[in-house]
A and B are shown apart, each in its own frame.
Chain A
Amino acid sequence: MAERLTRKDVDRIATLARLELGDAEKDLFVRQLTEVLEYADQIQAIDTTNVPPTSHVLSSTVVDRADDPQPGLTNAEALANAPDPSPQTGLFRVPRVIG
């Protein structure tokens, strides 16, 4: 079985997904994702000329509503589940952005 995905591909996808992987996970994913993609390749044989894509199945028209402000979460509620909240400033704290 030719490997459709290489370690390099897996590294590239993981970077796009902001997901760090261990060496064992990378090896596993090279194999498993290759298997799934080879299975998925069966759809390539279907003639879809002039077939529009379905991105959702809703047939009804868009329903408008008045754009009235409604109460939302309080600042304290929004911060309550944060791993590193700053209640004094009402902000989420993160590690430094520029390394």
Chain B
Amino acid sequence: MPGAPLRTARDIRDAVSSGHASAVEVVQASLARIEATNRTLNAFLTVAGERALERAKVVDREYRTAPLAGVPIAVKDNICTRGITTTAASRMLETFVPPYDATVVGRLEAAGAIVLGKTNCDEFAMGSSTENSAFGPSRNPWNPEYISGGSSGGSAVAVAAGMAPLALGSDTGGSIRQPASLCGIAGLKPTYGRVSRYGLIAFASSLDQVGPFARTAYDAALALSVLAGPDPHDATAAHEPVPAYTAALTGDIRGMRLGVPRTMLDQGVDDAVRTCFYVALDVLRSRGAELIDIELPHAKYAIATYYIVATAEASSNLARFDGVRYGFRAPGTRDLKDMYEKTRRLGFGAEVKRRIMLGTYVLSAGYYDAYYLKAQRVRTLVRRDYEQAFQQVDAVAMPTSPTAAFKIGERVEDPLQLYLTDIFTVSANLAGLPAFSVPCGFTPDRLPIGLQITGRPFAEATLLKIGDAYERDTQFFNAQSSAI
């Protein structure tokens, strides 16, 4: 690779726009990095190298002044890409080639970005470690024996390992923020409705949201300005105006009121995470933010609520995988019902089956009121907690994950224990709020830790501004692991 690689989307865009680099050179450098590291890290399931180079030539000819000119991008494999296999990390879709692009992919390409390929994730985005991928786990660039986090683990690894400066993930209960935290990069879950879901393979439709991974707050802002906005193909994509996100990054957070739900850190949070979190708060306070203790009384019920709502919606969404119109079909079956049942037995992995079963149960006659409807009522209470908090504060600060990455294989036997690690992330999905995870330190073993800032609906600019201000006084952004 000639010279120092361009590491951020902003640097690449500036170099391509000014003629100091070509998109072809940038893509070649990314492909070389993938070639050198993907065998170890398993971040990409599909590398569309030739297509990316062809596209780079077009960008060099026609898109040099576009906002993401020449920026290589990694796309989570549950987001449809026309002509590029899209598996959702499932045997069920191992050979599926979408006939259309997700809106987010179209918007990025129209802005001059170049899709490098498709990244590994937990099957149908169900999991927190990518160990539920049918194609093996992704590995953490800071220590390949450790998980990448999930479900969008491959996208987080691609950015953290320098394969791509930007990546797309999806976040239903933390699937962008948690892997961003565990891999030491920035990850933004936008407000529900901020970004189109058209072409995202649905997991839980009232919770799913697409968002970017980046090495800096500026790059996350740059990506969101391209991704956000209404879409005729998605009625839930909001018509809210899209502000100039990068212009909000002034570094000035004086007088900003930050809520801290301290009692949530009393139990189950690793010492290193707690220490880094409080040090991060000091940094923000020294920049002029005001810290205010708040309570989110129903946050402790968020995981129970989430795993009822999300699995119910998943059981309905995944009914479409029936071996008829696309995807896998079990061979040699007796009749249609036998075909459905065997196709789903062989096509889905264990976690997906577990969630389909749970979701079917909580929706079934006799249990609907006690579980699904009850959970929807508690969801209202979780939302109201935030509404109340936002009367006093501009944003809420929490750790992103109660622990750093754990070793691959360590928790596969105990799904409930893994669900409990989503404590800090699921409530933003239940309430539909934007939340931004930024790197805020390391454990003594040199594994990254993340700080999460949650905001009012459509207040992404506030979160990006806080993240950017924090970045200016710390050294954790754009860090590079020496382990790979």
Contact = CB atoms under 8 A, between A and B. Distances in A.
Contacts of B371: 37, 40
A10 B99 contact: no
B123 interface: no
7 contacts: A29-B354, A33-B357, A33-B361, A53-B380, A62-B235, A63-B235, A81-B99
Contacts of A16: 360, 364
Given A13-B364, A43-B305, A84 B383 contact: no
B328 A57 contact: no
Contacts of B232: 65
Given A18-B344, A56-B206, A57-B192, A44 B360 contact: no
A69 interface: no
A39 B300 CA distance: 12
Contacts of B315: 17
Residue picked from A12, A54, A65, most chain B C-beta under 10 Å: A54
A96 B361 contact: no
B338 A95 contact: yes
Given A43-B378, A46-B378, A98 B357 contact: no
Given A17-B356, A54-B383, 13 more contacts: A10-B357, A18-B319, A18-B322, A37-B371, A43-B308, A48-B380, A53-B373, A53-B377, A53-B380, A57-B457, A82-B325, A82-B326, A99-B337
A97 B335 contact: yes
Contact of A92 (B298, B308, B325, B335): B325
Given A13-B361, A52-B377, A77-B99, A57 B354 contact: no
Nearest to B193: A58
Given A39-B416, A60-B239, A51 B380 contact: yes
A57 B337 contact: no
Contacts of B193: 57-58, 60
B419 interface: yes
Contact-size category for B: 35 or more
Nearest to B96: A81
A25 B329 CA distance: 20
A84 B415 CA distance: 36
Interface string B366-384: 0000110111111111010
A20 interface: yes
A36 B419 CA distance: 9
B189 to A, nearest CB: 13
Contacts of A58: 192-193, 236, 238, 432
Contacts of A19: 341, 344-345, 348, 353, 356-357
B301 A36 contact: no
Contact of B334 (A37, A40, A78, A99): A99
B6 interface: no
Contact of A73 (B99, B323, B430): B99
B36 interface: no
Contacts of B340: 18
A46 B376 CA distance: 12
Given A13-B364, A55-B376, A36 B236 contact: no
A99 B338 CA distance: 9
B93 to A, nearest CB: 9
B40 interface: no
B358, B419, B457: most-surrounded residue (chain A CB, <10 A): B358
A94 interface: yes
Contacts of A22: 345
A89 interface: no
Given A13-B360, A42-B301, A54 B380 contact: yes
B360 to A, nearest CB: 4
A97 to B, nearest CB: 5
A99 to B, nearest CB: 4
B265 interface: no
Contacts of B419: 36, 39
B342 A20 contact: yes
A63 B233 CA distance: 12
A46 B324 contact: no
A54 B379 contact: yes
A93 B380 CA distance: 45
